Amino acid sequence: MTKGTPSMGKHSRSKTHIKCRRCGRRAYNVAKGYCAACGFGRSKRIRRYSWMTKKVLTRERIV
């Protein structure tokens, strides 16, 4: 068995992630069977966290 640089070229043949049929992003892991972006295949609720969206700060106007 060879290992190292020649073996790394064999990794490019198949796709790890394909297009998810729930969210449409290329994040569905074929081997694990779930989407990394929305959680499809793992949970029926859409995967969402508060740290994913940037919080809008309300500031006073400086004149």
Does 20 appear as a known binding residue?
yes
Tell me how far CA of residue 18 lies from CA of 22, 32, 43, 45, in angstroms. Answer: 12, 12, 18, 20
Does 35 appear as a known binding residue?
yes
32 pLDDT more than 80: yes
Global pTM?
Answer: 0.71
Give me the mean pLDDT over the 35-61 stretch: 90
Question: Cα–Cα distance between 23 and 13 in angstroms, integer?
Answer: 25
Residue ranges and CATH numbers for the domains of the chain are 14-62 (2.20.25.30)
Does 38 appear as a known binding residue?
yes
Q: Where are the beta strands (DSSP E) in 1-63?
A: 17-18, 28-29, 34-35
Tell me how far CA of residue 55 lies from CA of 28, 50, 51, 52, 58, in angstroms. Answer: 28, 9, 9, 9, 10
